[in-house]
Structure 1
Amino acid sequence: MSQIRNPLGVHALVWAGSTSPAEVELAVRSTREAGYDLLEFSLHDGLTMDTAHARAELEKAGLKVACSRGLAPDADVSSEDPAVVARGAQLLSQSLEVTAAIGGTMFAGALYSAFGKAAQPLSAPGRANVVAVLKDLAAQAAEKNVTLTLEICNRYETNVINTARDALRLADDIGADNVKIHLDTYHMNIEEADMVRPVLEVGDRLGYVHIGENHRGYLGSGHIDFNAFFHALADIDYTGPITFESFSSAVVAPGLSNDLAIWRNLWSDGMDLARHAHSYLTNGLAAAAQNGHGNP
């Protein structure tokens, strides 16, 4: 069977709950051992990361790196409060600097709002603030050869973009070549009508992919139609990163675990989980490339 062309990644929360030097070393070592090409760090506490140390560890292991984050209510760039928006813009700018400092070329996630269920729909002034902040961030990112990828999250985590069409409209308004779309199968399972049409609609504007089961546990143990999703990726000839994302109460990140509602212990052995996911992704993507319209 043909080799897949996508870098395969794993989220650091499979291994560790912080970005301390010891936990960075654990995450890097484990990611390499499990056979992945890329490690994604959530920057929920990443502004304290020893970036020189992290970059050296990643380079020594031969790993690519991506970073992601959401925002807190007091730093929500979709707010109508100028002070709150300014705090969010500063946090995004600082997080971008961390991403570039550790060698990352992808800054992903819910870069556009506070993380959590909103009390009301997004307002027009709030959306205008999102566009303005992300235009500035995209310009800063371009100087550092970093691509921003707008992660589409479900209605219980944001009121800004919940579907691929929402994300495309927002990216159009930002109007920067280095702003791409970030699909996540966990969120798609909640908000999209199927697992194929959003991929085809996004097409060559797809920049990053999260693979997660409907309960965020072992791949294949839930009901998501990954076969259809993999074939859709082959149909658009997507060769970008595909990162496995899974959370369990076995690995706790202060603050973030509560934000993500990680109450259940879906797994306890991160290495077994990650190796299983790597095999599942490799086999599924290769089969789809062989039998779909993408070039094998």
Structure 2
Amino acid sequence: MKLGMNMLLWGSHITSAHYPIFEKIKAAGFDGVEVPLFEGDVAHFTTIGKELARQGLGVTTVTCLGPESNPISPDAAVRQAGLERIQWALDCTASMNGELLAGPFHSALGVFSGNGPTTDELKHGVEVLRKAADHAEKTRVRLAIEYLNRFECYFVTTAKGMAALVDAVNHPWFRCMYDTFHAHIEEKSQGDAIATLGDRFIHVHLSENDRGTPGTGQVRWEETFKALHARDYDGWLTIEAFGRALPELAAATKVWRDLFPTADEVFQRGGQFIRSHWKSSRS
């Protein structure tokens, strides 16, 4: 497996100011970082990618969409904006030689209708995501779409729903990912959820139930790792944690209190925990 660290812990836009953090993550034994894509252009991320390559770090990326670019909107112009936003993120990922683009870009984050997804919304989502997958194939960057818990979206909130969406899009460059935080809320069994996704998932976020340091909360880590081993999973295990230092992220993630002593503890202690338990659960 490859151990990754999501840079959202330090900001929503990565710049040269984050280069020293890359160095610390590398020194802690990580194989790569996950770069958030919310602003910037290909030229900017090409520069970031060169620095990551210089430091020997691999790259994955993550993005999400807002109401102005919602792929399941009844407004065709809004859906087109969503497609273009995903295409932009794919181009930025490719500029860093990134392996995949992760995130819940199936619908707008934090937007609710008061009901579950309609037939039209499912149709719109599949159409946009299939076109996005065509662009993914051109850029050679895989899509790893993420299901969220029911407090963050309504379009797809379970492994069963995600498996159905991947099958409906039916494109080799459109796959999904698994996130322990959302599964802890929505699934009866994390092992069963991973089995339900089967060979559809290509990426994993390791996030504690309170968004703090992995291994300090209630997530069923042993069950999770054993289920991943059962699938012979050998891809990225990326830590995702959130703090309240950045107001724009704290508001989106509903983090109002300190969940860990320092950011360094998250990747240092969290990385040690993951490596140790990943190895011990292989039996």
2:117 is matched with which residue? 122
CA distance in 1 between counterparts of 2:34 and 2:216 reads: 23
Q: CA RMSD in A?
A: 1.6
Q: Report the secondary structure of 2:281's partner residue.
A: helix
CA contact (8 A) 1:152 1:161 kept: yes
1:261 to 223, 234, 254: 254
How many corresponding residue pairs?
Answer: 282
2:140 is matched with which residue? 145
Classify 1:13/1:161 alpha carbon distance in 2 versus 1 (closer, same or farther; 3 Å).
same
Letter in 2 for 1:99: T
2:77 is matched with which residue? 83
CA distance in 2 between counterparts of 1:162 and 1:12 reads: 24
Measure how far apart 1:194 and its partner are: 1.1
CA distance in 1 between counterparts of 2:250 and 2:120 reads: 31
Answering whether residue 55 of structure 2 is matched by residue 35 of structure 1, we say no
Residue range with higher mean Cα deviation, 30-39 or 62-71? 30-39
CA contact (8 A) 1:210 1:242 kept: yes
CA contact (8 A) 1:15 1:30 kept: no
TM-score w.r.t. length of structure 1? 0.91
CA distance in 2 between counterparts of 1:15 and 1:141 reads: 27
CA distance in 1 between counterparts of 2:138 and 2:23 reads: 30
Looking at both structures, which has the greater relative contact order when contacts are Cα pairs under 8 Å and sequence separation is at least 6?
1
User: CA-to-partner distance for each residue in 1:44-80, whole Å, 9 max, x for gaps?
Assistant: 2344871221011011011111111110111111111
Q: Report the secondary structure of 1:258's partner residue.
A: helix
Runs of 4+ aligned structure 1 residues displaced above 4 Å come to: 46-49
Structure 1 segments unaligned to the other structure (5+ residues):
1-5, 292-296
User: CA-to-partner distance for each residue in 1:232-265, whole Å, 9 max, x for gaps?
Assistant: 1111110111101111113x1x633322212222
1:241 is matched with which residue? 236
1:283 is matched with which residue? 276
1:103 is matched with which residue? 97
CA distance in 2 between counterparts of 1:17 and 1:76 reads: 20
Letter in 1 for 2:110: G
CA contact (8 A) 2:12 2:37 kept: no
CA distance in 2 between counterparts of 1:14 and 1:156 reads: 21
CA contact (8 A) 2:7 2:34 kept: yes
Classify 1:86/1:207 alpha carbon distance in 2 versus 1 (closer, same or farther; 3 Å).
same
Answering whether residue 71 of structure 2 is matched by residue 62 of structure 1, we say no
Q: Report the secondary structure of 2:196's partner residue.
A: helix
Structure 2 segments unaligned to the other structure (5+ residues):
none
Percent of aligned pairs with the same amino acid: 28
